[in-house]
Chains A and B, each alone.
Chain A
Amino acid sequence: MAIEDPKERWSAVVATVTLGATSAEGGTRGKTLTIGGSSTLPFLGFDGETPNRPLIAMEVHDVAPAEWPAPLTDSLGGVLGDPAAWAAKCVSDFGADLICLRLTGTHPDSGNRGAADAVASVKAVLQAVDVPLIIWGCDVDDKDNDVLPRCSEAAAGERCLMGTVKEDNYKTLTASCLADGHNLITQSPLDINIAKQVNIMVSEMGFPLDRVVIFPTTGGLGYGIEYAYSIQERGRLAALSGDKMMSPPVIVTVGEEAWRGKEAKATTGEAPQWGPADVRGPMWEAMTAVILLQAGSDILVMRHPKAVELLKKTLDALMQSVPQG
């Protein structure tokens, strides 16, 4: 009499999304990257496969960020303010898998750069690196609806990942990404019901689910990470149980959230009992990343090179422990 194998049996897998396009496919990237595809919960190699390694995207801003803490700006060297140089350094020196270009300079309160300037930044970064590109707006709907379609058009064929669309503002960018062949980030405010609904709405516009990446909103270590974790985990369980609308892979903004906290930002002088700032900040970011890896994250957007290095080592070890199918 056979004894039942105690392996968990999931009825579906996480969807896969291809990032970037080579010249054969109408783009100019050196190669494409694929995310998603897991047939089990994160890194449970005894239950299923993890065919695609989670990716590290390094964050680049179109203008020099005001008020980034010294441990962060020091680590990046003098490239802040030059997105092309910054992107190139992230790839060549720090080993980023892809670049996440944040168009913060287009925000009305941070410079209010116009669409033409944003397009110039996008083109400069596309020229400077041959890895796939994420283009992320300033999060003000009217501005994004003006700027992002122009960026989408300028980068047509590159299969970028563009973001974001939300429940109450999705039609403009979805239409652009559909027309220009890009992937799309669907955003929700730590609300799984809205996450599902936004995916349903973009699907109803004819946008293919295999070009969607979910941004459930990220909480940093010590500042809401447990809630973010629980939502990501629920979403992943739903994906594996066959909920197609929850099947897209997930992107998380590790750097942005981790560096909000005083534990990451405080100088050594301000908080000597917390240890040296140049170790503390990157550790805070790396820990945030590792926790979210366990929740099920496929693209981690990071800032500090040391945190990236730590995460790469962790990923090397984790990926060695799981079958990749």
Chain B
Amino acid sequence: MIIIGERINGMFKVVKEAIQNRDKTAVQDLAKRQLAEGADMLDINVGTASANPVEAMRWLVETVREVTDAPLAIDNPNYETMKAGLEACKGRKMINSTTGQIEKLDIFLPLAREHNASVVALCIDESGVPVDVDGRVMVAMNILAKAMEYDVPIDELYIDPIILPVKAEQRGPGIVLESIKQFAMLADPAPHLVIGLSNLSQGAIDRKLINRTFLTMAIGVGLDAAIVDPLDTELMDAMITAELLMNRTIYSDSFLTAYRQR
């Protein structure tokens, strides 16, 4: 499973202050800790920390790059900020994200190609978030067609079926699970399938329990990437165990620690 660590986000107090004070240590510490717990990539999000998001994004990317070669997912809806992040990022990188709206795909997919970046594409189109499985499959198919048109390799494409807070829509998790199953059949080899897990438990109680339960269910139907908090040990343990149960890793008695050493 590809784990994208979500902690470097300007919405969190620690990161917001670090960005405002240009405190490298706090950010680099978060980067290292997430990687040590099993993150494969790091999400870089300036949130609302700065009145100058372009500058903030550049600083954040360069600061994290000082301590790791891991791929960085540039997380911002604005084209200029995204572009600045990609340009500032040496080495491997990801666009997080584009929607499935045609005009967005026409901008962000070529941008991905230009920077040799992978790209997360959300199943949201001109009509918004689809209400059911079929709606999501349609957006996914459009995304795939556009990806082929712009020569984005399938291995660099991450499709997100959009998980809504369960409190707001209890049919949501079931719809997303079925969508993941169907996305996996849309192409051979299939694109990566990713979700932003934390959104699921927004506003609910026992957030961690909800998050990790859904993650294991999603792994069972073919999810192979997730944007999560790697510092949530129980979540990572559940993910590692689910991968084992799906025969994606070989069992050993030290299977929990082995994953983090790999």
Binding site for B on A (CB under 8 A): 1-2, 4, 9, 192-194, 196-197, 200-201, 203, 234-235, 238, 242-246
- With A1-B148, A4-B154 as contacts: A203 and B250 at CB distance below 8 Å: no
Contact, CB under 8 Å: B262 / A196: no
Contact, CB under 8 Å: B253 / A197: yes
Closest partner residue, chain B, to A246 (CB atom): B250
Contact, CB under 8 Å: B254 / A197: yes
Inter-chain CA distance A192–B151, complex, in Å, is 40
A128 to chain B minimum Cβ distance, whole angstroms, is 40
Q: Which of A4, A9, A245 contacts B262 (CB 8 A)?
A: A245
| B189 contacts across to A, CB distance below 8 A | 4
A291 to chain B minimum Cβ distance, whole angstroms, is 22
Contact, CB under 8 Å: A196 / B149: no
- With A244-B261, A244-B262, A245-B258 as contacts: A196 and B252 at CB distance below 8 Å: yes
Inter-chain CA distance A196–B254, complex, in Å, is 9
Contact, CB under 8 Å: A193 / B148: no
| B153 contacts across to A, CB distance below 8 A | 4
Inter-chain CA distance A143–B181, complex, in Å, is 56
Closest partner residue, chain B, to A167 (CB atom): B253
Inter-chain CA distance A197–B253, complex, in Å, is 6
Contact, CB under 8 Å: B258 / A192: no
| A242 contacts across to B, CB distance below 8 A | 262
Inter-chain CA distance A203–B252, complex, in Å, is 14
Q: Which 9 A-B pairs have the closest CB atoms?
A: A196-B252, A197-B252, A200-B254, A193-B251, A244-B262, A197-B253, A238-B250, A200-B258, A196-B250
Closest partner residue, chain B, to A5 (CB atom): B153
| A192 contacts across to B, CB distance below 8 A | 250
Binding site for A on B (CB under 8 A): 148-149, 151, 153-155, 189, 249-254, 257-258, 261-262
Contact, CB under 8 Å: A243 / B250: yes
Most chain A beta-carbon neighbours within 10 Å: one of B151, B154, B155, B258: B258
B127 to chain A minimum Cβ distance, whole angstroms, is 27
> Can you list 26 A-B contacts (CB < 8 A)?
A4-B153, A4-B189, A192-B250, A193-B251, A193-B253, A196-B250, A196-B251, A196-B252, A197-B253, A197-B254, A200-B257, A200-B258, A200-B261, A201-B254, A203-B261, A234-B250, A235-B250, A238-B249, A238-B250, A243-B250, A243-B262, A244-B261, A245-B252, A245-B258, A245-B261, A245-B262
Closest partner residue, chain A, to B154 (CB atom): A4
B255 to chain A minimum Cβ distance, whole angstroms, is 8
- With A192-B250, A197-B253, A238-B250 as contacts: A2 and B258 at CB distance below 8 Å: no
Closest partner residue, chain A, to B153 (CB atom): A4
| A201 contacts across to B, CB distance below 8 A | 254
Closest partner residue, chain B, to A8 (CB atom): B189
| A4 contacts across to B, CB distance below 8 A | 153-154, 189
Inter-chain CA distance A194–B189, complex, in Å, is 32
A305 to chain B minimum Cβ distance, whole angstroms, is 37
Closest partner residue, chain B, to A2 (CB atom): B151
Contact, CB under 8 Å: A196 / B258: yes
| B249 contacts across to A, CB distance below 8 A | 238, 243
Closest partner residue, chain B, to A1 (CB atom): B148
Most chain A beta-carbon neighbours within 10 Å: one of B250, B253, B257, B258: B250
B125 to chain A minimum Cβ distance, whole angstroms, is 22
| A1 contacts across to B, CB distance below 8 A | 148-149
Inter-chain CA distance A100–B262, complex, in Å, is 31
Closest partner residue, chain B, to A200 (CB atom): B254
Inter-chain CA distance A244–B253, complex, in Å, is 16
Inter-chain CA distance A9–B189, complex, in Å, is 10
B68 to chain A minimum Cβ distance, whole angstroms, is 18
Inter-chain CA distance A158–B155, complex, in Å, is 44
| B253 contacts across to A, CB distance below 8 A | 193, 197
| B251 contacts across to A, CB distance below 8 A | 193, 196
B70 to chain A minimum Cβ distance, whole angstroms, is 14
A301 to chain B minimum Cβ distance, whole angstroms, is 25
A266 to chain B minimum Cβ distance, whole angstroms, is 39
B248 to chain A minimum Cβ distance, whole angstroms, is 8
Inter-chain CA distance A144–B153, complex, in Å, is 53
Contact, CB under 8 Å: A193 / B250: yes
Inter-chain CA distance A200–B151, complex, in Å, is 41
Inter-chain CA distance A257–B261, complex, in Å, is 35
| A193 contacts across to B, CB distance below 8 A | 250-253
A135 to chain B minimum Cβ distance, whole angstroms, is 27
| B254 contacts across to A, CB distance below 8 A | 197, 200-201
Inter-chain CA distance A235–B251, complex, in Å, is 11
Inter-chain CA distance A201–B261, complex, in Å, is 12
| A246 contacts across to B, CB distance below 8 A | 250
Inter-chain CA distance A77–B67, complex, in Å, is 62
Inter-chain CA distance A1–B250, complex, in Å, is 38
A219 to chain B minimum Cβ distance, whole angstroms, is 19
